[in-house]
């Protein structure tokens, strides 16, 4: 069934469900993204550092759906912060993707110990004004970083893409996003696969004839989050997108809320990473 969209603070629509391609090689990316598009995915999350923008672009050109039906995200890496560097890095990403615009351009990390992300953000504002990035946002930003961008430029990111899954629920940051009109996008939504063997989630799934992965993805959707699971296995790609025919009940939501763990990160901490 059709993938729901959410309305971003700049008026654009973003699919609430997409396909992440971290650790998919450039060689396998064209086939994997092609397979995902066939399975019904319309949004792809890549990044300059993933090294697979060319493969993603190849799949877009080969796809049977038009560019307008796709939502493509990429990100500027940590070594290209600053106004001029970011504009150059963006041109290089578009060149590798062979696109003339992306739907969403993100600052990949704030980079601990540097405040160059503010000039990076000014470059993204310019790219949005020029229409080459339809929407602009950030990734791995903490409240203090978001506050500085908003205070210094008056432009609120449309999206903050952050580590988020049942074992690391980011409630404080989500509350700040909600108060400021920032959409929350969950990376490593399955805890990099570590949550798919969880017995509590399996038990909930049995009620609906769904797998733990499907329960987790439904939990993201029912929380209003944008979610971008990754798999290169076609059967799992199809399993992961098959979550639009059920809804978790209030009890399920409460039980999953109970899995939250302050120490539950699977990825780097933005307070120290960079």
177 is in an annotated binding site: no
CA atoms within 13 A on the CB side of 66: 1
Residue 103 binds to ligand NAD (criterion: CB under 6 A): no
> CB atoms < 10 A from the CB of 200, how many?
16
Name residues whose C-beta falls within 8 Å of residue 9's C-beta, 6 or more positions apart in sequence.
156, 158, 181, 182, 183
Q: Which one, 131 or 213, has the nearer CB to ligand NAD?
A: 213
Burial of 64 (0-12, 13-18, 19+ CB in 10 A): exposed
Q: In this chain, which of 139, 169, 170, 184 binds ligand NAD, going by CB under 6 A? A: 139
Residue whose Cβ sits closest to ligand NAD: 20
Is 236 near ligand NAD (CB under 6 A)? yes
- Closer residue to ligand NAD, CB minimum distance, 82 or 229: 229
Min. distance of Cβ 229 from ligand NAD in angstroms? 4
Which of 24, 250 has the CB closer to ligand NAD? 24
Q: Using the rule CB under 6 A, is 145 a contact of ligand NAD?
A: no
> Is residue 22 at the binding interface for ligand NAD, with CB under 6 A as the rule?
yes
Choosing from 19, 41, 50, 105, the catalytic residue is: 50
Residue 219 beta carbon to ligand NAD: minimum distance, rounded to whole angstroms:
13
CB within 8 Å of 272: residues ≥ 6 apart: 112
Chain centroid, CA 273 distance in Å: 18
Phi/psi-derived region of residue 206, left when phi > 0, alpha when psi is between -120 and 50, beta in every other case: alpha
Separation between Cα atoms, residue 103 and residue 11, nearest integer Å: 12
23 or 130: CB nearest ligand NAD: 23
41 catalytic residue (yes or no): no
Site residues (CB under 6 A) for ligand NAD?
A: 20-22, 45, 108, 139-140, 161, 187-193, 196, 213, 228-231, 236, 239-240, 267
């Amino acid at each position: 069934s059709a993938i729901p969209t959410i309305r971003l603070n700049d008026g654009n629509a973003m699919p609430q469900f997409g396909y992440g391609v971290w650790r998919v090689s450039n060689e396998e990316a064209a086939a994997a993204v092609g397979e995902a598009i066939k399975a019904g995915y319309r949004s792809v999350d890549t990044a300059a550092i993933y090294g697979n923008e060319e493969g993603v672009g190849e799949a877009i050109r080969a796809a049977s759906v038009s560019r307008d039906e796709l939502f493509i995200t990429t990100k500027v890496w940590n070594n290209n912060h600053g106004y001029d560097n970011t504009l150059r890095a963006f041109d290089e990403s578009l060149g590798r993707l062979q696109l003339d615009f992306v739907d969403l351009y993100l600052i990949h990390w704030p980079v601990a110990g540097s405040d160059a992300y503010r000039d990076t953000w000014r470059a993204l504002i310019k790219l949005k004004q020029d229409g080459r990035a339809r929407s602009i946002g950030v990734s791995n930003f903490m409240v203090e970083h978001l506050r500085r961008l908003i205070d210094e430029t008056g432009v609120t990111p449309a999206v903050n893409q952050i580590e988020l899954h049942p074992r690391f629920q980011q409630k404080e940051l989500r509350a700040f996003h909600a108060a400021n009109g920032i959409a929350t996008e969950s990376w490593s939504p399955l805890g990099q696969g570590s949550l798919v063997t969880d017995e509590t989630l399996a038990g909930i799934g049995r009620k609906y004839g769904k797998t733990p992965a499907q329960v987790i993805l439904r939990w993201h959707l029912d929380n209003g989050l944008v979610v971008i699971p990754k798999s290169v296995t076609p059967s799992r790609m199809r399993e992961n997108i098959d979550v639009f025919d059920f809804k978790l009940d209030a009890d399920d939501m409460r039980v999953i809320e109970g899995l939250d763990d302050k120490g539950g990160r699977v990825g780097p901490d933005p307070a120290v990473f960079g």
